[in-house]
Amino acid sequence: ELKVEQNPLFLSMQEGKNYTIYCNYSTTSDRLYWYRQDPGKSLESLFVLLSNGAVKQEGRLMASLDTKARLSTLHITAAVHDLSATYFCAVDMNNNAGNMLTFGGGTRLMVKP
C-alpha cells in the first residue's frame, strides 16, 4: 500500500524567510503533484513532477523530485503573506491516465507579517 508522508504538518514563518516542505512516499512512482488549498476553496494544481531530478519553479515556490530517494520538496523563498495556505503533495502509482491519487496529510503554512 502506497503511503505518503508530509512534514511538517504545520508551519508558521515570518515574511522574508525561506523554508522547505518535505514529501516522502513509500512505493516507486514517477509522477508527483503539489496542490495548494485556500480555506473553503478547491485544491489548485501547482506542479506536476514527472521524472527523477525534475525541478519546477513558479514565483517563490520551487518543487523538486528525487525518485530514488522517493522524496519531493517544496521550497519557499522569501515567504510573503499571500502564500499562507495548505499545501498537499499527492502521488499516483501508475503512468496510465485516470489514476487515483494518494495524498500526504497536508502542510498548513501561515506566513506572518
* Residues of the shown chain interacting with another protein in the complex, contacts defined by CB under 8 A: 4, 31, 33, 35, 40-45, 48, 50, 88, 90, 92, 95, 97-106
Least distance in angstroms from the C-beta of 84 to another protein: 18
Closest CB to another protein among 80 and 110?
110
Q: Shortest approach of another protein to residue 17 CB, angstroms?
A: 27
Residue closer to another protein (CB basis): 12 or 99 = 99
Question: φ and ψ at 81, to 5 degrees?
Answer: -55, -35
Q: Which class for 109: exposed (0-12), middle (13-18), buried (19 or more C-beta within 10 A)?
A: buried
Contact between 80 and 59 (Cβ < 8 Å): no
Give the residue with the Cβ less far from another protein, 88 or 109: 88
Place of cell 514565483: 59
**Choice between 32 and 79, CB closer to another protein:** 32
| Least CB distance to another protein at residue 5 (A) | 9
CA distance 54 to 101: 19
Report in angstroms how near the CB of residue 96 gets to another protein at its nearest.
8
Handedness of CA 51, 57, 63, 69 (dihedral sign): positive
